[in-house]
Amino acid sequence: MSYNVHFGINVDVPMTVENKSKSLLPFLSSPKLLPNESEAEFQSGLQSLLSELDNPSPLAVALVSQLNESLWWIKRHTVDKELLLHEAMARLLSKAGSYTETYDNRKVSEALERYLDGSADTDEAEWIDDILAESKLTLSDLRVRAFKDAAKHIKMVDDLIHRQHQTMRHLQRSIDAIDYKSRLIKRMDLELAALESRQSLKGVLSLDDEPSQEPCKSLQCT
């Protein structure tokens, strides 16, 4: 069954008709994607998380949506670590030529990206090789130095990833609490029903007993 639990996000989970119209998500701002990110991937992640819910109540669905967003942020920040390293490498290369000429940082960055991908043309590859030779560095030296330079920012990204992990832990605990609460309510309902049925059974029995007591009374009377 596919239905809309969010703005533009279709989710496949077994929920009752009542719950569909009572989702909390339309009242919360939706997680936004970057222009180069796949919405289909985001949705499939959300769907797989929702399918694992034992009791998909509106609040649980809202919390799972936040959980999916945290996972998405972890992916983004992991990519950022590589980008930081690349940025630092490009900056080092730009600085390397500053004694003779000033290199355009963006131009160096783009050329380096293609050079590392192996998609650079011969001119570009030669240019990067020349800058490396000028600065007396190999590619692995450059990577090591870039890592040293970007260490502060990489540590920050690690903190951000750690924060998202902690967020996920909090959300997981909250979902468990809701699940436990709903199970507790169900159990109490069942116990109440059992008590009621026992009570009514007693009532029936006492009604059944009444005629049997009557002869006694009659005996006493006699």
Q: Least Å distance between CB 129 and other proteins?
A: 21
> What residues does 9 pair with on adjacent strands?
6
Give the Å distances, CA to CA, from 113 to 1, 12, 104, 129, 134. 44, 40, 14, 13, 19
Considering the complex, state which of residue 37 and residue 121 has its C-beta at the smaller distance from other proteins: 37
Q: Which contacts (CB < 8 Å, 24+ apart) does range 21-28 have?
A: 22/58, 23/58, 23/61, 23/62, 24/58, 24/59, 24/61, 24/62, 25/58, 25/61, 25/62, 25/65, 28/62, 28/65
Q: Least Å distance between CB 210 and other proteins?
A: 40
Using CB under 8 A as the binding rule, whether residue 45 contacts other proteins is answered as no
Using CB under 8 A as the binding rule, whether residue 145 contacts other proteins is answered as no
Interatomic CA distance for residues 153 and 13, integer angstroms = 40
Residue from 133, 144, 151, 177 binding other proteins (CB under 8 A): 177
Using CB under 8 A as the binding rule, whether residue 125 contacts other proteins is answered as no
Using CB under 8 A as the binding rule, whether residue 116 contacts other proteins is answered as no
Residue 72 structure tokens: 């998405």
CA 175 from centroid of its chain's CA atoms: 13
Using CB under 8 A as the binding rule, whether residue 24 contacts other proteins is answered as yes
Residue from 46, 94, 132, 161 binding other proteins (CB under 8 A): 94
Using CB under 8 A as the binding rule, whether residue 67 contacts other proteins is answered as no
Interatomic CA distance for residues 93 and 128, integer angstroms = 8
Residue from 8, 27, 123, 140 binding other proteins (CB under 8 A): 27
CA 82 from centroid of its chain's CA atoms: 21
Considering the complex, state which of residue 16 and residue 212 has its C-beta at the smaller distance from other proteins: 16
Using CB under 8 A as the binding rule, whether residue 42 contacts other proteins is answered as no
H-type helices in the chain, by residue range?
Answer: 17-21, 39-51, 58-96, 105-117, 122-134, 139-221
Residue 47 CB contacts under 8 Å (≥ 6 apart), including other chains? 11, 12, 13
Considering the complex, state which of residue 16 and residue 220 has its C-beta at the smaller distance from other proteins: 16
Using CB under 8 A as the binding rule, whether residue 170 contacts other proteins is answered as yes
Q: Least Å distance between CB 27 and other proteins?
A: 4
Binding residues vs other proteins (CB under 8 A): 22, 24, 27-29, 31-32, 34, 57-59, 62-63, 66, 69, 76, 80, 83-84, 87, 90-91, 94, 98, 102-106, 109, 150, 153, 156-157, 159-160, 163, 166-167, 170-171, 173-174, 177-178, 181-182, 185
